[in-house]
Structure 1
Amino acid sequence: MPASPTTVLIVGSGPTGLTLAIDLARRAVGVRIIDKAPDFPRSSRAKGPNPRSLEVLEDLGVVDEILASGSAPLPMRKYRGGVPIADADPFADARPAPDAPYDRSWLIAQWRLEEILRARLAQYGVRVELGAELVGLTEAGPSVTAELAGGGEIEARYVVGCDGGHSTVRKLLGVPFEGKTDESRAMVCGDVEVQGPDRGIWHQWFDEDGAVMLCPIPGTRSGWWFQAGPETDASGAPVPPSLESFQRLFARHTRLPGAQLSRASLLSTYRVNERMADRYRVGRVFLAGDAAHVHSIAGGLGMNTGIQDAYNLGWKLARVASGRAEPTLLDTYEEERLPVAAHVLDLSGEQLRATLEAIKKPGGGLDSAISAQTSGLGNGYRWSSLAGDGATARLRAGDRAPDAPCHDAATGAPLRLFETFAGPHFTLLGFGAGTARTVREAAAAHGDDLRAHTVDAGTALGLTDDEGHARAAYGIGPDEDVLVLVRPDNHIGLITRAADVRAVGEYLRGAALERA
């Protein structure tokens, strides 16, 4: 008897694929995740999650381990002619806020981040299947057959390509990857061992003829991320990266002995690619992460945009696959995420240009690529068909739902809004006593799909907003009665001032979130 088809097959086990696999597995969706690599990579690559991705990772239950395994961003020291001339700390004045608990990105080697995500996925009984190379896709009726090198096949109801900028899934679908590659801005990269420089600093040596940047890799004694403009040969062609070329670049720009750099691995040449797929879905097959969009490295937005793609897609796939929502819900993945990728493409390009201009001047450095926009906290979906009615003084439907410290009205124990959002459900917040009945009726009508909480309703149930942080974050006055419906990916679906349980039900049905 043939095996029953997998519900979702994920191709690619980087941060995007692993985030999606965890989100599906915790929703009891049958998922398999494959990767053509024979072994898990040890490359440090992307430097870590931004504040919005940290919120996602908190919901998935891994943020504490990620914070413990990494470090806060380091102060940056800029040099000219080998001499330090300026220090900068882009986050010196940043502080966690009641509505945004993460005020900065976090440095962690990508291999370590993936290791943590794989361990979390294994808790749901799912493991990455290595050495499984996709070579073909055939959709027929209610399923897709994935053909593997060597003759194996996997049948799945849905397939998601999270297999990077050279995505096999995207190529098999024939989806164009429009954009440009800038060969003039090539950079050599790698993980290196260096003795000598202060590991509490991100060092950046700039000269008229090039640069070397060294950032210590958390969790290692002498490991560093190495980035530099490439050497060129007599004809002006870039020299392929090697230990010897890294040592020459290190000596030239730091004025330190090249022998202090003793090992170089996972070498690569990075070229500025700015490309995006023109669609994220072909039938039952989806694209996410670098398979759908690649950006310049300025601002560290590539991996983070992929993690947030997965967070958007996961709950939608789960609801449709379980029969709780109409298949049209899946159309909103592209509707919401493609414009975000286009914005990030423009933003990262602008950040790169600003950085390249800044480093021409004494004291300029990579801090020019960091801004409030690179946090990811401002990305919302106000244009989406899932953005229902309503607005407050601070928020509109489609926006990210803020956090706030509250208390459990029954026990007095501290309870953050993010803790009430955590998990595979919608959340209804009823601000004010006038919403208490509506909250009770909505909770009874929608069962496990909806968790409902009053805020300052004057009863022993729900939450108390003792310091007013929740009302301030949501822009709700002290005497206003307001309902806020929060989606499973912590974006606002609906805001209504009417204490009417029908508004919640009409939103869920009208937005194709529930079968009639």
Structure 2
Amino acid sequence: MNEQCAVDVLICGAGAAGLTLAIDLARRGIRFRLIEKNAEPFHGSRGKGIQPRSQELFEDLGILDRLFAVGGVYPTERRYRDDGSYSEANSIEHNAPTSAEPYQQPLMVAQFLTERVLRERLLELGHAPEFACELVAFEQDAEGVSAQLADNTGTQSVRVRWLVGADGGRSFVRHALGIGFPGKTLGVRALVADVRLSGLSADCWHRFGEGDMLRQIAVCPLAGTELFQIQAPIPLEADIDLSAEGLTAILTERTGRDGIQVHSVSWASAYNMNARLADQYRVGQVFLVGDAAHIHPPTGGQGLNTSVQDAYNLGWKLAAVANGAPQNLLDSYEEERRPIAASVLGLSTKLLDGMQRGDMRRGREVHQLDLGYAQTSLALQHAERTGNLLAGDRAPDAQLRGASGQALRLFDLYKGAHWTLLGYGVTPGAVSPRPGLHIHHIGPQCELVDEHGQLQRAYALAVGDWVAVRPDGYIGAFVSSAALERLEGYLLQVGLGPVMPG
């Protein structure tokens, strides 16, 4: 048995959540290993919608433009009637970007392309997943986790501070911890397949038999590829032929058309839809993220997005504690993320009910821009603050002007692994600099000018207000200049103490 050098974090599972966590840890200089029991990357399209909030996350990680380049917008839906006529409509609301919300529409990227872009970004940071490497056992104590790994060279032992299970709905980590996974099977079985086909155009999303669960079938061109994704409900017990011939027969039967031909199948799956939520996200030094913690029906495109947001929440907290922040900071992961998953499960199930009736409309409720962590332990604000934006909410974007005359965005200031502290009309120097905190002063004769008032409108700031923005783009604290001792206490809580003179 080989003894491996200890690392801070062992991530089990190299899907979208595991890769996102690995990138976040890599850019923070945290030692980790990312293992994946499968011998090669997932090659299906399953989670193909990247919602606006996740687009902001991927902008922060430096890959959003790459995802736009390999993906595309959702096409118009063409809904066919039994007589062969059809209507066209957008099931997704189209709203113009604003200064506060620069991304307003979901982006379509096949999951295998999203994960490929994530792997490429991780490689730029000097790391790569270890495929065909499986977690087979682990034990933990107060200081860390001892894990047993198996690969094609044998077994090895690794000692880590934390283990993160990003290993999917059948999570070995969750089972080994004995964490309950209550919920329900939703009584809907479906097929999904990535295919090459002829007989349908690639300029729209073709839908047949809407509202009839026995005849419904959808064929969507996958942006950035030559593939189409077939989706259809199927009987709960029947054997389904997922070959090219079998899928062609299903298409012919459900569309009433003889001219649609599937030529090849690159990936296909028949599955039962479930809605389940883990009883706990953490046991000691072990955490669950993504599908290991929650599984959703695919309606509304919430699963992958919720999963990568889990990783985005956990990554900065693991790094902060690794660098000396109070241990109880890690308690906030489950506190913040589990209620979000519960809410999203409810939304996905509601949208599934609508889909069964033929209602495919999607609006702001799927964008995840309104999800946040208000009234949690990391949300601090002065009692008199009211309005639509509170501590714990997503931090809006805004256009500013630097003292040099150049335009910039708030998101430019937030981008990276640090905290950001904005002082609006404050006295410079009132808060001392410290590692991991970028302090910016906004106002006349300051480094930044709110030239068009976008910052003030988005954040509803009074002169003398301070805003602490977390590394994951949520507002940590609103504090007035009269209560700087509360701000100092908050910064200590998250591991940002001042540097003491030597």
Alignment TM class, shorter chain as reference: over 0.9
- Which residue pairs with 2:182 in the alignment? 178
What displacement does 1:246 show? 1.1
- Whether contact under 8 Å (1:328, 1:512) holds in the other structure is no
Partner of 2:480: 497
* Distance in 1, Cα, partners of 2:143 & 2:94: 53
Retained in 2: the 8 A contact 1:75–1:201? yes
Where does residue 428 of structure 1 map in the other structure? Answer: 421
**Within 5 A, what are the aligned runs for 1:101-500?**
101-149=102-150, 150-182=154-186, 184-206=187-209, 208=212, 209-221=214-226, 223-230=227-234, 237-257=238-258, 260-323=261-324, 325-357=325-357, 359=358, 364=359, 366=360, 368=361, 370-390=362-382, 391-408=385-402, 410-432=403-425, 435-437=426-428, 440-442=429-431, 445-455=432-442, 457-459=443-445, 461-476=446-461, 480-500=463-483
Query: How many Å separate the matches in 2 of 1:90 and 1:513?
Result: 45
Q: Distance in 1 between matches of 2:110 and 2:437?
A: 37
RMSD: 2.0
CA contact (8 A) 2:93 2:105 kept: no
**What is the 5 A alignment of 1:12-31?**
12-31=13-32
**CA displacement 1:193-216 (0-9 Å, x = unmatched):** 112322121111116432111111
Q: State whether residues 36 and 133 of structure 1, in contact with CA within 8 Å, keep that contact through their aligned partners in structure 2.
A: yes
Contact 1:162 1:288 in 2 (8 A): yes
Q: Structure 1, residues 224-280: CA drift from partner, whole Å, max 9, x if none?
A: 111112268xxx734353322211111122233265221123211121100010110
Give the structure-2-normalised TM-score. Answer: 0.93
Deviation (angstroms), 1:185: 1.0
Structure 1 stretches lacking a partner, 5+ long? none
**Are the aligned partners of 2:13 and 2:167 in contact in 1 as well (CA < 8 Å)?**
yes
Q: Deviations over 1:288-341 (max 9, x none)?
A: 000000011110100000010011000000000122x01110000000001111
**Residue 463 of structure 1 aligns to which amino acid in structure 2?**
L
347-356 or 145-154: which moved more?
145-154
Counterpart Cα distance in 1 of 2:335 and 2:208:
42
Distance 1:56-1:251 versus aligned 2 partners, 3 A rule: same
Separation (CA, whole Å) in 2 of partners of 1:96 and 1:284? 41
Deviation at 1:120, TM superposition (A): 0.7
Distance 1:384 1:82 in 2: 55
CA distance in 1, matches of 2:240, 2:204: 28
Query: Quick check: 1:195–1:261 contact (8 Å CA) kept in 2?
Result: yes
Aligned residue identity for 2:200? P
Q: Aligned residues, how many?
A: 491
CA deviation profile, 1:55-105 (whole Å, cap 9, x unmatched): 011111111101111001111111122624321114464111110111011
Q: Following TM superposition, by how much is the alpha carbon of 1:371 offset from its aligned partner in structure 2, in angstroms?
A: 2.1
Post-superposition CA distance 1:159-201 (Å, at most 9, x none): 101011011111111111111113x311111101112322121
Identity %: 39
Local SS of the residue matching 2:380: coil
SS at 1:402 equivalent: coil
